[in-house]
């Protein structure tokens, strides 16, 4: 069995919206409360809290008069809050992320997770049944398959609500073999250059929206300065909040466009090729180049590779990662002669040994393919 998530936009009524915001606050309180206790326990005793201790303490919190309001929230969502804290510390000790921080109500994205017990999460026509919320209208863009495990309700900065439903589904049937392999060279002028000679255009979603975003952000800055000058609380400034949501919607649209592009491209590649060879790029290091940081962030190479990997795992395809220091742009794919590094302005590769002339990026993708197939043969 595998796990698959389905994301939908939901349209809660005013009472349901109020309960969602309230649950976000309750879960944030539980997370911050136990994080503070964890820090204190570690300073005094040299160890943190465990799941059993936090479970008992949460029960006591619900019985206390000053925190009795916790009983109004979804109990499973409150339990998920300290489970998230445990997971955050485990990732920290494994050096996967930084030390857990306190959650803020000013964070533009708020979410909580609840589990499916006694069929309290289900699809009823064009509505979704959620714990404590009842039936909520949602945009049913596709049918849900498998057994529903849990749901995450999220509120975005744009003022929209989404639900992500995780389901347990049978393993996907492997796609029929195509006996085809491809090397991919990721770039900025062209998003992906295939060893077949095909070039996938870089859509530049952020750049297309840049002028409109700048205009709307200037309006937001002016309204911020005006509110600050008058000494008003930003949460009470309706014009500021309206403009903030408008900017967030523009950014959300860019994110959705990029997500759609990456999903379609990765799915098409997985369907057409049995083996996909790709470079293991140091994206974080490349983002330190301030001249290229915006362009690199816009293309989302790391997200594209992530999608390729999990789809390949689902559908029994192979992804071969080439070492980032492999000189793919310095070798001749025809004879293997190394000419050394050439200026980026030179976009046509000419081998000084055999005289082969080819587009620089296509030559690099062919070298990536050759190296990937070599590594694949060495695998047990």
pLDDT for 118-156, tens place per residue?
899 999 988 999 999 999 999 998 888 889 999 999 999
Say which of 74, 279, 298, 371 is annotated catalytic: 279
Structure token pair of residue 118: 């006694």
The total of other beta-carbon atoms located within 10 Å of residue 46's CB is 7
Structure token pair of residue 336: 């293997």
Q: Clarify whether residues 267 and 299 are in a common domain.
A: yes
At 173-186, the pLDDT tens digits run: 888 899 999 999 98
Structure token pair of residue 152: 């995450």
> Region 44-60: what's the mean pLDDT?
91
Instruction: Give the Cα separation of 165 and 4 in Å (integer).
Output: 8
Q: Clarify whether residues 188 and 307 are in a common domain.
A: yes
> Chain-wide mean pLDDT for the chain?
90
**Residue 175 resides in a domain:** no
User: What domain range includes position 342?
Assistant: 181-378
**Which helix (DSSP H) or strand (DSSP E) does residue 356 occupy?**
none
Q: Please say if 359 is a catalytic residue.
A: no
Spell out where 156-202 has E strands: 161-169, 181-186, 190-194, 199-201
**Residue 128 resides in a domain:** yes
Say which of 74, 216, 298, 361 is annotated catalytic: 361
Out of 169, 196, 229, a domain closes at 169
Instruction: Give the Cα separation of 361 and 337 in Å (integer).
Output: 16
Q: Clarify whether residues 341 and 250 are in a common domain.
A: yes
Q: Clarify whether residues 196 and 151 are in a common domain.
A: no
Instruction: Give the Cα separation of 92 and 330 in Å (integer).
Output: 39
Q: Clarify whether residues 219 and 316 are in a common domain.
A: yes
Q: Clarify whether residues 41 and 187 are in a common domain.
A: no
Stated pTM of the model: 0.84
Band of pLDDT at residue 287, cut at 50, 70 and 90: confident
Are 190 and 201 within 8 A, CB to CB? yes
Out of 147, 169, 191, a domain closes at 169
Instruction: Give the Cα separation of 174 and 51 in Å (integer).
Output: 39
**Residue 124 resides in a domain:** yes
Q: Please say if 143 is a catalytic residue.
A: no
Structure token pair of residue 350: 């000419």
Say which of 185, 216, 298, 371 is annotated catalytic: 185
Instruction: Give the Cα separation of 127 and 10 in Å (integer).
Output: 9
Instruction: Give the Cα separation of 277 and 370 in Å (integer).
Output: 9
Are 263 and 273 within 8 A, CB to CB? no
At 297-337, the pLDDT tens digits run: 888 888 999 999 999 998 889 999 998 888 888 888 888 88
Residue 224 has pLDDT above 80, yes or no: yes
Q: Clarify whether residues 85 and 189 are in a common domain.
A: no
**Cβ within 8 Å of residue 214, ≥6 positions away:** none
Instruction: Give the Cα separation of 364 and 360 in Å (integer).
Output: 6
At 17-47, the pLDDT tens digits run: 999 999 999 999 999 999 999 999 988 888 8
Are 109 and 155 within 8 A, CB to CB? yes
Task: Tell me how many domains the chain contains.
Answer: 2
**Residue 346 resides in a domain:** yes
Q: Please say if 45 is a catalytic residue.
A: no
Q: Clarify whether residues 225 and 324 are in a common domain.
A: yes
Band of pLDDT at residue 344, cut at 50, 70 and 90: low
Q: Clarify whether residues 78 and 128 are in a common domain.
A: yes
């Amino acid at each position: 069995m595998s796990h698959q998530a389905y994301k939908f936009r939901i349209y809660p009524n005013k009472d349901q919206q109020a309960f969602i915001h309230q649950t976000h606050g309750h879960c944030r309180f539980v997370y911050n409360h136990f994080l503070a206790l964890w820090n204190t326990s570690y300073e005094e005793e040299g160890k943190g809290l465990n799941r059993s201790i936090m479970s008992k303490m949460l029960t006591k919190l619900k019985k206390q008069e000053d925190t009795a309001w916790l009983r109004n929230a979804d109990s499973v969502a409150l339990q998920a809050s300290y489970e998230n804290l445990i997971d955050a510390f485990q990732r920290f000790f494994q050096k996967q992320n930084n030390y857990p921080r306190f959650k803020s109500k000013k964070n533009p994205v708020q979410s909580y997770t609840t589990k499916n017990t006694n069929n309290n999460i289900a699809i009823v026509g064009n509505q979704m049944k959620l714990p404590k919320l009842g039936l909520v209208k949602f945009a049913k863009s596709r049918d849900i398959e498998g057994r529903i495990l849990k749901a995450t309700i999220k509120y975005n900065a744009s003022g929209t609500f989404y639900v992500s439903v995780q389901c347990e589904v049978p393993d996907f049937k492997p796609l029929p073999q195509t006996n085809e392999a491809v090397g991919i060279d990721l770039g900025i002028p062209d998003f992906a250059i295939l060893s077949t000679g095909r070039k996938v255009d870089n859509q530049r979603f952020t750049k297309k929206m840049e002028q409109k975003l700048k205009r709307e952000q200037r309006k937001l800055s002016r309204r911020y300065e005006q509110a600050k000058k008058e000494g008003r609380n930003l949460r009470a400034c309706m014009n500021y909040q309206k403009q903030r949501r408008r900017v967030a919607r523009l950014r959300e649209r860019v994110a959705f466009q990029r997500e759609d592009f990456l999903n379609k491209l990765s799915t098409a590649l997985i369907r057409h090729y049995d083996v996909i060879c790709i470079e293991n790029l140091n994206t974080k290091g490349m983002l330190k180049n301030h001249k290229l940081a915006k362009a690199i962030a816009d293309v989302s190479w790391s997200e594209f590779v992530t999608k390729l990997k999990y789809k390949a795992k689902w559908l029994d395809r192979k992804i071969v990662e080439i070492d980032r220091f492999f000189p793919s742009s310095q070798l001749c794919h025809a004879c293997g002669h190394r000419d050394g590094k050439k200026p980026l302005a030179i976009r046509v590769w000419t081998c000084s040994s055999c005289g082969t002339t080819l587009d620089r990026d296509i030559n690099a993708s062919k070298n990536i393919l050759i190296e990937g197939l070599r590594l694949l043969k060495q695998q047990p």
